[in-house]
Structure 1
Amino acid sequence: MIVLLVAAIVAANVDQPYPELAPLQHGPTALLILVSPWLLRRWPLSNGSVACVLLFLLLHTLGGRYIYSYVPYDIWARAISGHDISGTFGLARNGYDRLVHFAFGALLTAPFAEAARRHGVMRTGWSLVFAFVSVGFVGAVYEIFEWLLSVVAAGQTADWYNGQQGDMWDPQKDMAAAQIGSVLALVWLLSTRQGEGKAISPHAHSSKE
């Protein structure tokens, strides 16, 4: 999985259209790759959770190549179907960044919950609450980081990295997208546990790993 992510980062930087922003976009992912063997030895996760993290990082890597605001999904859609996504859904801005915020909540809720059960010794129900809150907390910290960057960075660099595209409510909408994704993930996790006949209340004991 690490090899796949390294290959994705390399591919994303071939003929990079925004080389001055590439370190900001891909640097954190590269750092995570370097420390991930230690992290997974120290706090192991299931293959499913690791796959969720990998998928999220692949989506981020694709977005990072085009600094999110310019992911050419309309061009790709027209080449495949003859119709563009923006026209079909009435999008006035590039929505790839919001998709990735949604994916953050949808894909990382399960890993957060598993980490809380396995390494935080939380009961199953409370681990799900922890995961939902963690999505909101990490999302808020990221938006604050973007704001601080806009304060210290040069104007055009800040605008490109923030990707607000003229939407003054972009941070709130991004955080809402992540929480909606988390809610859907929780519904799926809860329905799966019901199907297995397991308790799902906050007082339920965590399952054996």
Structure 2
Amino acid sequence: MPDHTSNQQRTKALTFASALLIALLVLSGLRPYDFATWALEVAPVVIALPILWASYKRFPLTTLLYVGIFAHALVLMLGGAYTYARVPLGFQIQDWLELQRNPYDKIGHFFQGLVPALVAREILIRGQHVNGPKMLAFIVVCIVLAISATYEFVEWGVALIAGQGAEEFLGTQGDPWDTQSDMFFALIGAVTALVLFSPLQDRQIQRLTNNNDAG
């Protein structure tokens, strides 16, 4: 029997999270360092929110995935407001680890691997598109690397169109291996998702499936 009270509480929590996210999105765009960079960085948030709500009744996601998407959105908005090379948190990490550059963009690319890995894994499992945990993990990693490579193509295209003005969006900070390290951090994020969060996601998928079957 589906737990209607729990579902109602979950819907209220997601509604509050969405409202908070929209408020933070507006706040991040009030006085960004560079408006064009902000718009490019937060575009995934603007696109994802309507899709998530439009699909909520037909295909609700696990709570784990909603939390991951929320956290990823915060990373994107903070990076958009300051530009990745100027985020204060990145400078603190740079000082702590004695790095040569602000590493905040690597946090962004880590989440670019972690969250899409959870999205891909959930869709593949619930749609019964892949058999076997090893093949599932392989396909998820491939999807994440494809997304990461596509994003690097987008950055390349922006650089060609905008010329020198694309530096804030690229955030390379003079690193000739920035593209490769970006994809590597996405890979680390994907592996982290698979190793640390697969059991929890499996349990939450099972509960969602049971509720849908009971309903």
- Is TM > 0.5 for Structure 1 vs Structure 2? yes
CA separation of 1:128 and 1:167: change in aligned 2, threshold 3 A = same
Q: Does 1:35 align with 2:51?
A: yes
Q: What is the count of residue pairs matched by the alignment?
A: 188
Residues 49-80 of structure 1 show CA distances to partners (whole Å, capped at 9, x for unaligned) of 122112111111111111111101267xxxxx
Q: Identity over the aligned pairs, expressed in percent? A: 28
2:90–2:103 Cα contact (<8 Å) kept:
no
1:109–1:185 Cα contact (<8 Å) kept:
yes
CA separation of 1:88 and 1:27: change in aligned 2, threshold 3 A = closer
Query: Which residue does the alignment assign to 2:119?
Result: 111
Name the one with the larger helix percent.
Answer: 2
Following the alignment from structure 1 to structure 2, what is the Cα–Cα distance between the partners of residues 163 and 88?
20
Following the alignment from structure 1 to structure 2, what is the Cα–Cα distance between the partners of residues 103 and 31?
17
Following the alignment from structure 1 to structure 2, what is the Cα–Cα distance between the partners of residues 152 and 74?
28
CA separation of 1:122 and 1:41: change in aligned 2, threshold 3 A = farther
**Correspondence 1:17-28 to 2 at 5 A:** 17-28=33-44
Q: CA deviation at 1:6?
A: 0.7
Q: CA deviation at 1:179?
A: 0.4
Q: CA deviation at 1:34?
A: 2.6
Q: CA deviation at 1:40?
A: 3.4
The residue type equivalent to 1:141 in the other structure is: T
**TM-score of the two chains, using structure 2 as the length reference:** 0.77
CA separation of 1:107 and 1:32: change in aligned 2, threshold 3 A = closer
Q: Does 1:49 align with 2:65?
A: yes
SS at match of 1:154: helix
Following the alignment from structure 2 to structure 1, what is the Cα–Cα distance between the partners of residues 18 and 182?
27
Query: Which residue does the alignment assign to 2:144?
Result: 135
Q: Which runs of 5+ in 1 are unaligned?
A: 76-83, 197-205
**Correspondence 1:54-203 to 2 at 5 A:** 54-73=70-89, 84-123=92-131, 125=133, 126-156=135-165, 158-189=166-197, 192=199
1:68–1:97 Cα contact (<8 Å) kept:
yes
SS at match of 1:14: coil
Query: Which residue does the alignment assign to 1:78?
Result: none
Q: Which runs of 5+ in 2 are unaligned?
A: 1-16, 210-215
Following the alignment from structure 1 to structure 2, what is the Cα–Cα distance between the partners of residues 40 and 143?
30
Following the alignment from structure 1 to structure 2, what is the Cα–Cα distance between the partners of residues 107 and 19?
26
Q: Does 1:11 align with 2:27?
A: yes
Taking only aligned residues, the RMSD between alpha carbons, in angstroms, comes to 2.4
Q: CA deviation at 1:116?
A: 0.8
Query: Which residue does the alignment assign to 1:79?
Result: none
